[in-house]
Amino acid sequence: MAKRLLVAALALGTGISLLSGCVGNSTKPAKDAARSSKAPAWVTQPPQMRGMAYGIGSMEIYGSATDAVKRAAELARIDLVSQLKVTVSGDFSSETVELSGTNRDSEVLRTVRNYVRSQVPPAELDEVQISETHTDAKYAYALAELDRNAAAARLRRDMNDIEQELSAIGELQPSGNRLQQLQPLLPALTLFAKRERLGERLTLISMERKAPALSPELKALQDRIYAQIDQLQVSLELLDDGAQTIGGGVLEALTSQGLRIQDGSDADLRFDISAQLSGKAKDGSHYVFADSRVTIRDGAGRVLSSFSKQAKGVSGLEDVARQKAAREVAKLIGDELAVALVDKIR
């Protein structure tokens, strides 16, 4: 029992957020908690039933037995998920995006994927119920149970709904310049992330321990969107002396991220950059600070995004510190471009 409590407590400390609801929200009413000297068998040994998953939580009663039961229920849910995770191997979301012909990952696409994924919370398991509770003189106990087949069926339905939305987007054939062709497809990025989250939960709880792969049609849509992001052409407008000073380093760093930098009016996006540089030397190290402001515009000059942030470079050599500050500015631009693509360019 002590070991099970430790596992549940550790899982809670890591911030696992897979399950929703509380005792009062269970779809199956729990048996009334009653103080008893004789603990039920499940307190020390969870039930064993094919197609079901169980978790046990316990909490010392310091005052209110009701509060202790609620806390035990939370720990029971965490214990249930922890036991499921032990038997899952591999990482459903471990696929990488690779630019065709480059044999290397695109930093731009990785940034976009990471950002959109961070905006989609893990799928919840509403089917988890607290089926029984028990209290004695010192502790409150709760038993959580999950019908894995029912939960898996619901997750598959949710995935199917998302796939239908994606299929509708995949039928679009927008015209116009590169950015205009991409814009109607961008909502699919969030849908793909939601499907991925559902697939992770399905891998966790289904008896088959796997989720259905993307269909060839949806994989083609995903590749199409990534390719169009990769094909976007951007230009840099260095607005002041500070931007001119770090402009070469910013250009180099953005190019290494996978952006296609060009001069002229044919660019799909324009980055207007200004920067105020300052620096100091301390203990043999040089610090260069770039208070930068970046505005992202489309080809028609409309503002899509704007931000002001400080970038810093540190090195024993002042020129190297300046280069590091320039790379940090480029990273900020790449991050903001991902935000713009996901949230603002619609």
**237-276: pLDDT as tens digits:** 999 999 999 999 999 988 988 888 887 678 899 999 999 9
- The predicted pLDDT at position 72 comes to 95
- Going from the C-alpha of 306 to that of each of 169, 175, 270, 331, the distances in angstroms are 28, 27, 12, 15
Domain limits, the chain: 2-90+128-147, 233-344
CB 140 within 8 A of CB 58: yes
Q: Name the pTM for this structure.
A: 0.78
What is the per-residue pLDDT for 346? Answer: 64
Burial of 260 (0-12, 13-18, 19+ CB in 10 A): middle
Closest residue by Cα to residue 133 from 52, 63, 36: 36
59 forms beta bridges with 140
Burial grade of 156 (CB within 10 A; 0-12, 13-18, 19 or more):
middle
Nearest residue to 30 via CA among 148, 142, 125: 142
Q: What is the pLDDT of residues 228-237, one digit of tens each?
A: 998 999 999 9
Question: Residue 323 — very low, low, confident or very high, per pLDDT cuts 50/70/90?
Answer: very high
Instruction: From 95, 117, 10, 123, select the one nearest 57 (Cα to Cα).
Output: 10
Q: How confident is the model at residue 51 (pLDDT cuts 50, 70, 90)?
A: very high
Cα atoms in the Cβ-side hemisphere of radius 13 Å centred on 172: 20
End-to-end alpha-carbon separation of the chain, Å? 53
Backbone angles phi, psi at 296, to 5 degrees: -100, 125
How does the average pLDDT of the chain come out, rounded?
83
Q: Rounded to an integer, what distance in angstroms lies between the CA atom of residue 325 and that of residue 290?
A: 6
**How high is the pLDDT of residue 9?**
40
Query: Using CA atoms, how far apart are residues 252 and 236, in angstroms rounded to an integer?
Result: 12
**Considering the chain, what percentage of its residues have pLDDT values greater than 90?**
58
Pairwise CA distance, residues 323 & 251, whole Å: 11
Q: Does residue 37 carry a pLDDT above 60?
A: no
User: Quick one: three-class SS letters along 129-152?
Assistant: EEEEEEECCCEEEEEEEEEHHHHH
* Beta carbons of 54 and 145 less than 8 angstroms apart: yes
Name the band, by pLDDT with cuts 50, 70 and 90, for residue 8.
very low
Given the candidates 3.30.160.150, 3.90.650.10, 3.40.47.10, 3.40.50.1000, the CATH classification of the domain at 233-344 is 3.30.160.150
Cβ-contact 235, 268 below 8 angstroms:
no
**Structure confidence by residue, pLDDT tens digits, 270-318:** 999 999 999 999 888 999 999 999 999 888 888 988 989 999 999 999 9
